[in-house]
Structure 1
Amino acid sequence: MQTNLAGFIKDTPEGREAEAILRKCVHCGFCTATCPTYQLLGDELDGPRGRIYLIKQVLEGQKATARTRLHLDRCLTCRACETTCPSGVEYGRLADIGRYVVEQQVPRTGSDRVLRGALREFVPRTGLFGSAMSLGRVFKPLLPRALSAKVPAAAAAGVWPAPRHARRMLVLAGCVQPAMRPSINAATARVLDVLGISLIEAAGAGCCGAVRFHLQDHDGGRADARRNVDAWWPEIAAGRVEAIVVTASGCGVQVKDYAHLLKDDPAYAAKAARVAGLARDPAEIVAAGAERLKAVLAQRAVTRPRQRIAFQSPCSLQHGQRIRGVVEGLLEAAGYELAAVADAHLCCGSAGTYSILQPELSGRLRANKLAALTAKGAERIASANIGCIEHLSGATELPIQHWIELIDEKITDDVRKSG
């Protein structure tokens, strides 16, 4: 694609990156076949090809409008289009650049501005979010139905094994997961413990930065990344840890992108690259220890009927991190029966804050996803991302858990119950 970027962005780092991405696009249209919003709305401007065209226009000097912003707002940034694209167009990065520019040209007003500002400042603050969640549980019967559905019941994390192995890994606590599902990281610690790995949290680490960054607070998102780098660096520099485990796949995409986010920061570029290189999804760690896992399962598995599980593969896992089929294999190895899921590549509609900002589209996508997940008689649903888990849980009676919790049930059931 030919480009002629406007002077305001042409010679900036963002402009050079955007131009390189735009030049890869040949407008073949393969991306529209896997775009959730294009499938729902049938509008070329609500598909990747149309949005790329809109971004190109703005970067070439055409003034953005509220309509431009709307079409970009409707994008889930699920990155299914990147998986489909034969030319390797990095649409997600282009969308971040385009949205930021459009935001400057067409500022938010009224309730939209207030809501987005609240999400940027509230969600990433772990303590504040946790306090609000506690209050929400107390007053849940009085809350509006839509809000009440987003407040899960309190659940104990269970035992977190004390560090005892030579192999040690850090784990990201995150911002919302500690308050909503503390059992996920604790289950990960127990599973890795039986695989000979001690999992530790570093004080001071928090939100990965995705919430702020994808709400066009790029400076705030980078500040969150720097804080995490600082929190993890003593353990990394001393050579005491071999990986950083990120149990929420959406956060995993962000942490693995730290090298790119901080590449122009001379004080952090090298450290961020090191952190990004160490970041791992738990599926990568557990799969690497698959033989030991099988041995542990054979020795310690609790005998119970074979359950039928539907796995909802988050977009951040399959499209963002390009991890496909690994979790399914681990669940089968643990003795679960996997139910087939139609259109497994499509987004569930969670997409970070999307379910709050675009509730109508998000709800339609959730209904479609739940229909696919339950079509083959699944007794439970597994996922790999806290956002997807809570989004889907609000509309079904089926239990939904992180897949690592299901592995934990099989090999450490006695420990889990004691917690």
Structure 2
Amino acid sequence: MDELSDTKIRNATPADKEYAIADGQGLSVVVRPNGTKLWLYRYRCGGKRKNMSFGTFPGVGLKAARDKRHNAEKLLDQGQDPVAVREAKRQEDEKLKHTFRAVGEEWATTKLEKENKANSTIKRERWNLAQLDREIGDRPLCEITPPELLTAFRRAEARGRYYTVGRLRSTASRVFQFGVGASYCKSDPTRDLKHALTKAPKGNPRPALTDPEDVGELMRRIEIYDAKNGGLVRYALKLIALTMVRPGELRLAEWSEFDEKNRLWLIPAEKMKMRDDHEVPLSRQALAILAELRPLTGGGRYLFSHDDRVPMSDNTINKALRIMGYDTGPGGDHCAHGFRSSASTLLNEEGAFDGDVVEAQLAHETDEKKRRRRDEVVRRQLAKSDKNKIRGIYNRAAYWSERVRLMQHWANRLDRLRKGVAVPLRKSA
């Protein structure tokens, strides 16, 4: 006789016996001390008594509970345990929910955007994710194996994209490590591919001119470059050569960041790769460029745009270099980022800067230590962090006077190189 009804279930209280409200066919309602009413299906499978929950009342009504019992009975008739079948389906649904594409998006949103990573970093990582999604995007994260990843990476290797494969592997590894932490998978399969992938050829994939005569020729070509829009691109080429900043920092340069009176360009942390404010001393030549730019864009936000909403394009400088006859691709001649390498190489070869006051006070007088101090002055102006983190904090202020002198020296040297005047290298002290 069926004893279950909606009225009896609603009126049931914790005082009732646990299984008193039942239909005699295994379906019962458990009334907990807090008044919650839980559906339970009691059955036998493999010689053992088991319970299966169908949810709570009234969220799951009487008819729905009976339908669930009917489905469970069909599985029992087929020799299957309904609880085991439901758990297997739950795990499968969980896998499908946590695909590489879904977890990659969660990682990008949580780790990249919310942690205020540089826009260039976010853009690069999202591009990498899009490439990976083409191969493994719809695969459950926990089921992706090293051989499967290797097959995907081999396709890029077959096109000679060794640097790209390295970047894709790094991005994939970050997604898997995020997944491990969130219990979406148990391990990072990319770690087993380190010795299975072909290493990229040694050397900087960003080409740069490092011969003084070549740099001089480049500066002469820039001087006569026939740029449109009043010569904005020509001014951009000159300023990036003088300031040693990254292309992204140059194209996003705003007039509000420049203090011409104190000869300073302060780039805010959110635009910097190292996520720290960066000060650029402005040489006389850089100030002259700003003076010529003001009539063109001084009334707006960006130095290199006639539209306050849209800065100069990412590819503008590289496009100009290609027009001037330079190959900007890996293994080529020179690219927008190469101006930094040109400055670093020529300044360190010249040996004109002897380090910082702190290091001198520590009596680090060996040739090797002096060379390292010279390198550090250039590293700071290139906005690269000090490898010794604590020393970097104290050196920040101490390097300033050196950097001011360095930037004017570099601007003067570029002028001489443009005019074809040789600069003798100084012997390291």
Report TM bin, short chain: under 0.3
Larger RCO of the pair (alpha carbons < 8 Å, separation 6+): 1
TM-score (normalizing by structure 1): 0.26
Report the structure number with the largest CA radius of gyration.
2
After TM superposition, the score normalised by the length of structure 2 is 0.25
